[in-house]
Chains A and B, each alone.
Chain A
Amino acid sequence: MAVTTFAAIDIGSYYVAIEVFELSRKGGLKSLNRIRQNLETGRDTYALHKITMARLNELTRILNDFKQIMKEYGVSDYRACAKSAIREADNRYLVVDHIYRATGIRVDVLSNSEQRFLGYKSIASRGAEFQTFIEKGTAIVDVGGGSIQVSLFDKDALVATQNILLGSLKIRERLAFLEHETIHYDKLVDELIRKDLINFKRMYLKNRKIENIILVGDYFTNLIFQNRNDLNKTASRETFMKWYEHVVNCPLREVADELGIPSDLSTVLIPIAVLYRQLIETLEAETIWLPGIQLTDGIAYDYGERNKIIRSSHDFEKDILQAARNISRRYASNKAHNEALIASADAIFDVVKKSSHLTPRDKLLLRVACYLHDCGKYISLVNVAECSYNIIMSTEIIGLSERERRIIANVVRYNTQELGYYRQMGANSELGTEDYMLVAQLVAIMRMANCLDQSYLQKIEELRVIKKDSELILSVAANGDFTLERGVFRENVDFFEEIFNLKPVLKMKSRR
Chain B
Amino acid sequence: MAASKENPKTKNDVKASSKPKAAGKSTEKTVRKSAEKSAEKTTAKTVRKSEGKTAGKAVHKSEELIPAAPDREKKEKSSSSLSSYDNFYNRELSWLKFDARCLSEARDTKIVPLFERLKFLSITQSNLDEFFMVRVASLKNQVHVGYKGVDIAGMTAQMQLDALSTEIHEFVKEQYQTYNRALVPALMKAGLEVVRKHEALTEKQSAFLDRYFEDEIYPVLTPMALDSSRPFPLVRNRTLNIGALISAKSDGDKLAKKGKKHKTVQEFATVQVPSVLPRIVELPDAEDGHKVVILLEEVIKRYIGVLFQHFDVECACTYRIMRNADIEFDEDEAEDLLLEIQKQLKKRQRGEVIRLEIEESVDKRLLKVLKQELEIGESDIYYIPGPLDLTFCMKMYGLPGFDEFKEPRYTPAPVPAFAGAKSVFDAIRERDILVHHPYMSFDPVVDFVRQAAKDPDVLAIKQTLYRVSGNSPIIAALAQAAESGKQVMVLVELKARFDEEHNIAWAKMLEKAGCHVIYGLLGLKVHSKITMVIRREEDGIRRYVHLGTGNYNDSTAKLYTDLGLFTCDDAIGLDATAVFNMLSGYSEPDRWYKLMVAPIWLKNDFLRLIRRESMNAAAGKPAFIRAKMNSLCDPVIIEALYEASQAGVEIDLLVRGICCLKAGKEGVSDHIRVRSIVGNFLEHSRIFHFHNDGSDEVFMGSADWMPRNLDKRVEIVFPVEQEDLKAEVIRILTTEFEDNVKAHVLMPDGSYEKIDKRGKTLVNSQEIFMKEAWERVPKPKKVTEERLFTPAEPAESADDDEE
B361 partner residues in chain A, CB cutoff 8 A:
none
Question: With contacts A36-B587, A229-B591 known, is A73 near B541, CB below 8 A?
Answer: yes
B83 on the A face (CB < 8 A): no
Interface stretch (choices B156-164, B363-371, B531-539): B531-539
Bound-state Cα–Cα, A35 to B582, Å: 9
Shortest beta-carbon distance from A14 to chain B in Å: 11
Interface stretch (choices A24-32, A49-57, A125-133): A24-32
Question: A229 contacts B592, CB within 8 Å?
Answer: yes
B589 on the A face (CB < 8 A): yes
Question: With contacts A71-B487, A73-B459 known, is A30 near B540, CB below 8 A?
Answer: yes
1/0 per residue B562-593: CB within 8 Å of A? 00000000000010010001001111111110
B600 on the A face (CB < 8 A): yes
Question: With contacts A35-B586, A228-B590 known, is A22 near B540, CB below 8 A?
Answer: yes
B536 partner residues in chain A, CB cutoff 8 A:
5, 74
A501 on the B face (CB < 8 A): no
Question: A33 contacts B581, CB within 8 Å?
Answer: yes
Bound-state Cα–Cα, A74 to B586, Å: 20
Find the B residue at minimum CB distance from A34: B589
A292 on the B face (CB < 8 A): yes
B592 partner residues in chain A, CB cutoff 8 A:
228-229
B460 on the A face (CB < 8 A): yes
A188 on the B face (CB < 8 A): no
A73 partner residues in chain B, CB cutoff 8 A:
459-460, 534, 541
A231 on the B face (CB < 8 A): yes
Question: With contacts A1-B539, A5-B541 known, is A228 near B459, CB below 8 A?
Answer: no
Bound-state Cα–Cα, A74 to B536, Å: 8
Bound-state Cα–Cα, A24 to B589, Å: 25
B459 partner residues in chain A, CB cutoff 8 A:
71-74
Question: B590 contacts A222, CB within 8 Å?
Answer: yes
A292 partner residues in chain B, CB cutoff 8 A:
590
Find the B residue at minimum CB distance from A4: B540
- Residue A37 contacts which of B487, B539, B587 (CB distance < 8 angstroms)? B587
Bound-state Cα–Cα, A165 to B46, Å: 45
Find the B residue at minimum CB distance from A37: B586
1/0 per residue A219-242: CB within 8 Å of B? 100100000111100000000000
B612 on the A face (CB < 8 A): no
Q: Tell me the residues in window 1-57 of chain A with beta carbons closer than 8 Å to chain B beta carbons.
A: 1, 3, 5, 15, 22, 24, 27, 30-38
B585 partner residues in chain A, CB cutoff 8 A:
37
Residue from A38, A260, A292 with most neighbouring chain B CB atoms (10 Å): A260
A380 on the B face (CB < 8 A): no
Q: Tell me the residues in window 223-268 of chain B with beta carbons closer than 8 Å to chain A beta carbons.
A: none
Bound-state Cα–Cα, A71 to B536, Å: 12
Question: With contacts A3-B540, A33-B577 known, is A68 near B590, CB below 8 A?
Answer: no
Bound-state Cα–Cα, A3 to B601, Å: 35
Question: B590 contacts A32, CB within 8 Å?
Answer: no
Question: A260 contacts B586, CB within 8 Å?
Answer: no
Question: With contacts A36-B586, A260-B600 known, is A72 near B539, CB below 8 A?
Answer: no
- Residue A260 contacts which of B577, B584, B588 (CB distance < 8 angstroms)? B588
Find the B residue at minimum CB distance from A230: B591
A71 partner residues in chain B, CB cutoff 8 A:
459-460, 487
Shortest beta-carbon distance from B540 to chain A in Å: 4
Question: B591 contacts A32, CB within 8 Å?
Answer: no
Question: A24 contacts B590, CB within 8 Å?
Answer: no
Question: A68 contacts B487, CB within 8 Å?
Answer: yes
Question: A3 contacts B539, CB within 8 Å?
Answer: yes
Bound-state Cα–Cα, A73 to B580, Å: 14
B621 on the A face (CB < 8 A): no
- Residue B587 contacts which of A32, A35, A229 (CB distance < 8 angstroms)? A35
Question: B587 contacts A72, CB within 8 Å?
Answer: no
Question: B590 contacts A38, CB within 8 Å?
Answer: no
Bound-state Cα–Cα, A219 to B587, Å: 11
Question: With contacts A35-B586, A231-B590, A260-B588 known, is A1 near B541, CB below 8 A?
Answer: no
A30 partner residues in chain B, CB cutoff 8 A:
540
Shortest beta-carbon distance from B668 to chain A in Å: 32
A230 partner residues in chain B, CB cutoff 8 A:
591
B516 on the A face (CB < 8 A): yes
Bound-state Cα–Cα, A15 to B588, Å: 13
Question: B539 contacts A32, CB within 8 Å?
Answer: no
Question: B541 contacts A35, CB within 8 Å?
Answer: no
Shortest beta-carbon distance from A80 to chain B in Å: 17
Find the B residue at minimum CB distance from A222: B590
Find the A residue at minimum CB distance from B540: A3
Bound-state Cα–Cα, A5 to B443, Å: 33
1/0 per residue B530-559: CB within 8 Å of A? 000010101111000000000000000000
Question: B540 contacts A24, CB within 8 Å?
Answer: yes
- Residue A32 contacts which of B577, B588, B601 (CB distance < 8 angstroms)? B577
B460 partner residues in chain A, CB cutoff 8 A:
71-73
Question: B541 contacts A32, CB within 8 Å?
Answer: yes
Bound-state Cα–Cα, A222 to B591, Å: 10
B538 partner residues in chain A, CB cutoff 8 A:
1
Shortest beta-carbon distance from B191 to chain A in Å: 60
Shortest beta-carbon distance from A368 to chain B in Å: 37
Q: Tell me the residues in window 478-525 of chain B with beta carbons closer than 8 Å to chain A beta carbons.
A: 487, 516
Residue from B538, B540, B591 with most neighbouring chain A CB atoms (10 Å): B540
Shortest beta-carbon distance from B761 to chain A in Å: 45
Shortest beta-carbon distance from B772 to chain A in Å: 37
1/0 per residue B673-687: CB within 8 Å of A? 000000000000000
A228 partner residues in chain B, CB cutoff 8 A:
590-592, 601
Bound-state Cα–Cα, A432 to B516, Å: 45
Shortest beta-carbon distance from B535 to chain A in Å: 10
B577 partner residues in chain A, CB cutoff 8 A:
32-33
Shortest beta-carbon distance from A258 to chain B in Å: 11
Find the A residue at minimum CB distance from B487: A72
1/0 per residue B779-801: CB within 8 Å of A? 00000000000000000000000
Shortest beta-carbon distance from A349 to chain B in Å: 40
B541 partner residues in chain A, CB cutoff 8 A:
3, 5, 22, 32, 73-74
1/0 per residue A403-443: CB within 8 Å of B? 00000000000000000000000000000000000000000
Bound-state Cα–Cα, A149 to B538, Å: 41
Shortest beta-carbon distance from A19 to chain B in Å: 11
A36 partner residues in chain B, CB cutoff 8 A:
586-587
Shortest beta-carbon distance from B48 to chain A in Å: 13
B534 partner residues in chain A, CB cutoff 8 A:
72-73
Find the A residue at minimum CB distance from B537: A3
Question: A27 contacts B540, CB within 8 Å?
Answer: yes
B588 partner residues in chain A, CB cutoff 8 A:
260
B516 partner residues in chain A, CB cutoff 8 A:
68
Shortest beta-carbon distance from B541 to chain A in Å: 6
A5 partner residues in chain B, CB cutoff 8 A:
536, 540-541
Q: Tell me the residues in window 352-381 of chain A with beta carbons closer than 8 Å to chain B beta carbons.
A: none
Bound-state Cα–Cα, A368 to B591, Å: 42
Bound-state Cα–Cα, A229 to B538, Å: 31
Shortest beta-carbon distance from A16 to chain B in Å: 10
Find the B residue at minimum CB distance from A5: B541
Bound-state Cα–Cα, A71 to B516, Å: 13
Shortest beta-carbon distance from A303 to chain B in Å: 16
Bound-state Cα–Cα, A230 to B460, Å: 30
Shortest beta-carbon distance from A11 to chain B in Å: 15
Please list 7 pairs of residues, one from A and one from B, whose beta carbons are closer than 8 Å in the complex, sorted by A's number: A5-B540, A22-B541, A27-B540, A33-B577, A35-B581, A72-B459, A230-B591
Pairs A-B, 8 closest by C-beta atoms: A72-B460, A3-B540, A228-B591, A36-B587, A72-B487, A35-B586, A22-B540, A33-B577
* A-binding residues in B (CB < 8 A): 459-460, 487, 516, 534, 536, 538-541, 574, 577, 581, 584-592, 600-601
Beyond the given A38-B587, A73-B460, could you list 18 further A-B residue pairs with CB under 8 A, ordered by the A residue number?
Answer: A1-B538, A1-B540, A5-B540, A22-B541, A24-B540, A27-B540, A32-B574, A33-B574, A34-B589, A34-B590, A35-B581, A65-B584, A71-B487, A74-B459, A74-B541, A219-B590, A231-B590, A260-B600
